[in-house]
Chain A
């Protein structure tokens, strides 16, 4: 009773105040009907308000102000508004922070898609996400107890405009409620408390709503996450996230009994055993490790439009416990990197999904672009703090890769949005890496080639020198002997041709060339033999023997030539000739084989 009259007095008093401060409130906007849904079923407070704004002023209005209570303002993680059309949602509206003089709290000016004419109504939906606003109370619980949290909010909608009628619906995490404030006779069914309807509420009105209820949902917070994205133009983008995870529910008091935890289903009911991370669909080579090695407790499931990793920390997380891990994967660059000539654009998520209803206290994004990227420009969907660019040196880098660093605090799931980074990269620079490798090997081989041919001995070793000289001379001897033997074969051919054509002229010329070449070769070999003797090598005798044998072979060749002449002239019969020829050939064969064996000995 008293409250109703009081609420009638209050609006008049407040309207006077509002009359003095005309800044925004005098636009004549009035909240006709407000339906607020406060979702407290997770560890975040999600307040979604449907407002029917009506313009009761004279002029058309192009924007309106959304307010947030001063107590809840520091916990604000995300706020968004959309206009509900007749068909569907019309997309989100532009937000900008303003300040109303004389009023405490946070205010946001929302631009309407089209100006609201005087007398018109518009249905707007405002979504707010508040983090760390559910306080565990009692702050310490044992393993067997259940976790109770307190939410302190506002029964009314905190708004700079008066509200004709409003109702609130609070959805809780469980049926167990220790206590809740009862303004205006709320009704409570299983997990839902309905407040209202409250009529004619003045602007900026606050009435503390305190609900103390049981909430055993996972109270995980990421205290810090570092997301490193390394872009390579060879077709791969490597993403690695280093995460510090903490349980921010009621602290565990007393012992942790593994027996109770395993055997009783409701022991440690507010602890976190595992959670699911959803990675991009084309993620490959996923690894999950920490400072001391690979963590074996995880499951990977590749689905059509995502890759799900069921991440189980090494130990279950109770209140006050924390853990630290790294998750990394590779993505193909054709899905995220767009190029037109020298210009490149990378479109990737600024922060990715870690677990449902995630809360990140501090995010650091490090974007490593290939060497030689210039004119780097980053477009983010929401404001982030850019730190100064760094340089990162890794394989085959000469002047370092540019690193963009951005930080932001207090993020939730709604912040998983794409960012775009534009940069220029000269395609010739891609050759730098293979050329470096080729150049390194080239220098190595070149050095070895030169080194092998240099003589670094301090004193001249005579025996080694003599041996080298002898070896070179022997090689020359060998080649000359082989050439001589070739001459004999040539002579044989000439003889055979003479036998067929009976061309004496050719035979004579052949004989003459044989004589001439033979003489030159023999002279050369003799000179080489003399040199060998000069060096004092015993191979000289062997060469002498070869010369002797060679003389005999030449004799045999001449004799066979003569026999062929005689055959042609008819002085000797064919059979006799053949026999002689065979004998001569066998003798020659012997001598040639002896020469060969001597040559091998050389």
Chain B
């Protein structure tokens, strides 16, 4: 009798272990605290539902193809590329946009008429399936179609490492994916032992903390920073000047005091140009 009970409990236990280890859902993440209580992270559905409710019905979302069907199903929005992956050159375009700097990426986004960009960032909670970990694949796929513009070796350090901290390659630190992942993250200090801007997934302090965007604007970030959505701004009416404006209202160091006396003195012009009247050539 006892053996029977034990065997039945064993079957139940095995079912529970395999369901937890092999079949747990990946849209809703769950973590367990020290006292056994469950903490649910519903970031994906939060961001997709925000997209569904608060963006224009015809808005176009650019993201990596992994999230295409989820965006189409839950957020009900048009995507550029999705899990079907039937168009490799189109995926390569998206990869090129993610790996270029902001201005080059903006050109691609304007040509594809993109309204929102969606990325997954796991640095706050230590989620290892985020876009920075997949980034090299985006680079490789883009290099396959645009070998002259994207080179995978540019994104590694001279020693051949893929690093996101200060020693990382400058191409990586200025590419769109990096900037979108770590925007405002440099100010965030997760706990007192680590410096602000410490990426929990890569276990490194990020290199580029002061990120500013020219053509993108942060539209929505989910509660644990897992999903970040940026809005692509329309072209400005006027382009901003790159050079500094000339300043003409400088106050001279020495204040000019008139040397005129109380008596009215006739003023004179300094460095007056002497007018030399010319003689008309006689016609004769």
| Contact with A258, one of B52, B74, B222 (Cβ below 8 angstroms) | B222
Q: Known contacts A321-B53, A324-B53; is A314 also within 8 Å of B42 by CB?
A: yes
A496 to chain B, nearest CB (A): 48
User: What B residues does A446 contact at CB under 8 A?
Assistant: none
Contact assessment for B54 and A255 in the assembled complex, using a CB-CB cutoff below 8 Å: no
**Which residues of B, 6-62, contact A by the 8 Å Cβ criterion?**
28, 40, 42, 45-50, 52-54
User: What B residues does A257 contact at CB under 8 A?
Assistant: 184, 218, 221
Residue of chain A at shortest CB distance from B229: A256
Contact assessment for B48 and A297 in the assembled complex, using a CB-CB cutoff below 8 Å: no
With an 8 A cutoff between CB atoms, is A254 at the interface?
yes
Contact assessment for A263 and B50 in the assembled complex, using a CB-CB cutoff below 8 Å: no
Type the 1/0 row for A240-258, where 1 means its CB is closer than 8 Å to any CB of B: 0000000000000011111
**Which residues of A, 304-326, contact B by the 8 Å Cβ criterion?**
314-315, 320-324
A316 to chain B, nearest CB (A): 9
Q: Known contacts A254-B217, A259-B188; is A314 also within 8 Å of B46 by CB?
A: yes
With an 8 A cutoff between CB atoms, is A361 at the interface?
no
Contact assessment for A323 and B184 in the assembled complex, using a CB-CB cutoff below 8 Å: no
User: What A residues does B73 contact at CB under 8 A?
Assistant: 292
A312 to chain B, nearest CB (A): 10
User: What B residues does A293 contact at CB under 8 A?
Assistant: 45
Q: Known contacts A255-B218, A292-B45, A296-B40; is A314 also within 8 Å of B188 by CB?
A: no
User: What B residues does A290 contact at CB under 8 A?
Assistant: 49
B54 to chain A, nearest CB (A): 5
Contact assessment for B50 and A255 in the assembled complex, using a CB-CB cutoff below 8 Å: no
Contact assessment for A255 and B217 in the assembled complex, using a CB-CB cutoff below 8 Å: yes
A564 to chain B, nearest CB (A): 55
With an 8 A cutoff between CB atoms, is B65 at the interface?
no
Contact assessment for A296 and B48 in the assembled complex, using a CB-CB cutoff below 8 Å: no
Contact assessment for A323 and B53 in the assembled complex, using a CB-CB cutoff below 8 Å: yes
- Chain A: residues with Cβ within 8 Å of the partner, total of 21
Q: Which DSSP category, helix, strand, loop or mixed, fits chain A's interface?
A: loop
Contact assessment for A259 and B48 in the assembled complex, using a CB-CB cutoff below 8 Å: no
Q: Known contacts A255-B219, A257-B218, A315-B220; is A292 also within 8 Å of B187 by CB?
A: no
User: What B residues does A295 contact at CB under 8 A?
Assistant: 42
A259 and B187 alpha carbons, distance in the complex (Å): 8
User: What A residues does B69 contact at CB under 8 A?
Assistant: none
Contact assessment for B53 and A256 in the assembled complex, using a CB-CB cutoff below 8 Å: no
With an 8 A cutoff between CB atoms, is B162 at the interface?
no
With an 8 A cutoff between CB atoms, is B225 at the interface?
yes
A548 and B200 alpha carbons, distance in the complex (Å): 95
User: What A residues does B47 contact at CB under 8 A?
Assistant: 315
**Which residues of B, 154-177, contact A by the 8 Å Cβ criterion?**
none
Contact assessment for B42 and A297 in the assembled complex, using a CB-CB cutoff below 8 Å: yes
User: What A residues does B187 contact at CB under 8 A?
Assistant: 259, 263
A136 to chain B, nearest CB (A): 18
A297 and B223 alpha carbons, distance in the complex (Å): 11
User: What A residues does B45 contact at CB under 8 A?
Assistant: 292-293, 314
User: What A residues does B53 contact at CB under 8 A?
Assistant: 321-324
Contact assessment for B50 and A315 in the assembled complex, using a CB-CB cutoff below 8 Å: yes
Residue of chain A at shortest CB distance from B221: A258
Residue pairs across A and B with CB atoms within 8 Å: the count is 60
| Contact with A296, one of B42, B54, B220 (Cβ below 8 angstroms) | B42
User: What A residues does B74 contact at CB under 8 A?
Assistant: 292
Residue of chain A at shortest CB distance from B217: A255
User: What B residues does A254 contact at CB under 8 A?
Assistant: 217
Interface centre among A292, A295, A323 (most CB of B within 10 A): A292
Q: Known contacts A292-B74, A315-B50; is A256 also within 8 Å of B218 by CB?
A: yes
Residue of chain B at shortest CB distance from A256: B220
**Which residues of B, 218-263, contact A by the 8 Å Cβ criterion?**
218-223, 225, 231
A324 and B50 alpha carbons, distance in the complex (Å): 10
Q: Known contacts A263-B188, A296-B28, A296-B40; is A314 also within 8 Å of B49 by CB?
A: yes
Contact assessment for A315 and B48 in the assembled complex, using a CB-CB cutoff below 8 Å: no
Residue of chain A at shortest CB distance from B223: A258
A323 and B50 alpha carbons, distance in the complex (Å): 8
Type the 1/0 row for A251-274, where 1 means its CB is closer than 8 Å to any CB of B: 000111111000100000000000
Contact assessment for A323 and B49 in the assembled complex, using a CB-CB cutoff below 8 Å: yes
**Which residues of B, 60-100, contact A by the 8 Å Cβ criterion?**
73-74
User: What A residues does B42 contact at CB under 8 A?
Assistant: 295-297, 314
User: What A residues does B222 contact at CB under 8 A?
Assistant: 258, 315
**Which residues of A, 100-122, contact B by the 8 Å Cβ criterion?**
none
A292 and B187 alpha carbons, distance in the complex (Å): 34
User: What B residues does A292 contact at CB under 8 A?
Assistant: 45, 48-49, 52, 73-74
A259 and B184 alpha carbons, distance in the complex (Å): 7
Residue of chain B at shortest CB distance from A322: B53
A291 and B50 alpha carbons, distance in the complex (Å): 12
Interface centre among A255, A257, A263, A295 (most CB of B within 10 A): A255
A353 and B231 alpha carbons, distance in the complex (Å): 37
B74 to chain A, nearest CB (A): 5
A324 and B220 alpha carbons, distance in the complex (Å): 18
A500 and B12 alpha carbons, distance in the complex (Å): 68
A297 and B224 alpha carbons, distance in the complex (Å): 14
A296 and B48 alpha carbons, distance in the complex (Å): 15
User: What B residues does A297 contact at CB under 8 A?
Assistant: 42
A290 and B231 alpha carbons, distance in the complex (Å): 25
Q: Known contacts A292-B48, A296-B42, A314-B42; is A321 also within 8 Å of B218 by CB?
A: no
Interface centre among B42, B49, B217 (most CB of A within 10 A): B49
A323 and B51 alpha carbons, distance in the complex (Å): 10
User: What A residues does B220 contact at CB under 8 A?
Assistant: 256, 258, 315
A320 and B40 alpha carbons, distance in the complex (Å): 28
Contact assessment for B184 and A321 in the assembled complex, using a CB-CB cutoff below 8 Å: no
A469 to chain B, nearest CB (A): 48
A263 and B28 alpha carbons, distance in the complex (Å): 25
Residue of chain B at shortest CB distance from A252: B54
A293 and B53 alpha carbons, distance in the complex (Å): 15
A419 to chain B, nearest CB (A): 32
User: What A residues does B217 contact at CB under 8 A?
Assistant: 254-255
Q: Known contacts A293-B45, A296-B28; is A322 also within 8 Å of B219 by CB?
A: no
A263 and B220 alpha carbons, distance in the complex (Å): 16
A322 and B217 alpha carbons, distance in the complex (Å): 20
A50 to chain B, nearest CB (A): 44
**Which residues of A, 468-504, contact B by the 8 Å Cβ criterion?**
none
A552 and B217 alpha carbons, distance in the complex (Å): 109
Contact assessment for A315 and B218 in the assembled complex, using a CB-CB cutoff below 8 Å: no
B152 to chain A, nearest CB (A): 32
User: What A residues does B185 contact at CB under 8 A?
Assistant: 259
A319 to chain B, nearest CB (A): 11
Residue of chain A at shortest CB distance from B189: A263
Residue of chain A at shortest CB distance from B47: A315
Q: Known contacts A292-B74, A322-B53; is A256 also within 8 Å of B28 by CB?
A: no
A254 and B216 alpha carbons, distance in the complex (Å): 11
User: What A residues does B54 contact at CB under 8 A?
Assistant: 320-322
User: What A residues does B188 contact at CB under 8 A?
Assistant: 259, 263
**Which residues of B, 84-124, contact A by the 8 Å Cβ criterion?**
none
A314 and B41 alpha carbons, distance in the complex (Å): 11
Contact assessment for B221 and A256 in the assembled complex, using a CB-CB cutoff below 8 Å: yes
**Which residues of A, 557-587, contact B by the 8 Å Cβ criterion?**
none
A148 and B216 alpha carbons, distance in the complex (Å): 28
A269 and B38 alpha carbons, distance in the complex (Å): 30
| Interface contacts beyond A258-B225, A315-B220: sample of 12 additional A-B pairs, CB < 8 Å, sorted by A | A255-B217, A256-B220, A257-B218, A258-B184, A290-B49, A292-B48, A296-B28, A297-B42, A314-B42, A314-B46, A314-B49, A322-B53
* Chain A interface residues toward B at CB < 8 A: 254-259, 263, 290-293, 295-297, 314-315, 320-324
The 10 closest A-B pairs by CB, nearest first: A258-B221, A255-B218, A259-B184, A314-B46, A292-B74, A296-B40, A255-B217, A315-B50, A314-B49, A321-B54
Pairs across A and B, CB under 8 Å, 11 listed? A255-B218, A256-B220, A258-B218, A259-B187, A259-B221, A291-B52, A297-B42, A314-B45, A315-B220, A320-B54, A323-B53
